[in-house]
Amino acid sequence: MPTLHTQSLRIGRYVKGVVLGLLWKARGVRLRDRVAIEGATPDVYAAGRIALGSRILFRSRHGRSRLTAQPGARLSIGDRCFVNSGVVIDASLSIEIGAHCLLGDGCQIRDSNYHEIDEGAGVKRAPVVIGRNVWIGINAILMPGVSIGDHSVVGANAVVTQSVPPRSLVAGNPARVIREITASDAFVRT
Which residues are catalytic, by number?
115
Q: Phi-psi category of 23—alpha, beta or left, where left has phi over 0 and alpha has psi -120 to 50?
A: alpha
Q: CB 47: neighbour CB atoms within 10 A?
A: 13
Q: What is the DSSP string of 16-77?
A: HHHHHHHHHHHTT-EESS-EEEEESPPEEEESSEEEE-TTEEEEESSS--EEEE-TT-EEEE
Measured between alpha carbons, how far is 135 from 54 in angstroms, rounded to an integer?
18
Peptide bond into 2 cis (omega under 30): no
Measured between alpha carbons, how far is 188 from 77 in angstroms, rounded to an integer?
16
> Which residues 6+ apart lie within 8 Å of 30 measured at CB?
49, 50, 51, 52
Contact 175, 156 (CB under 8 A): no
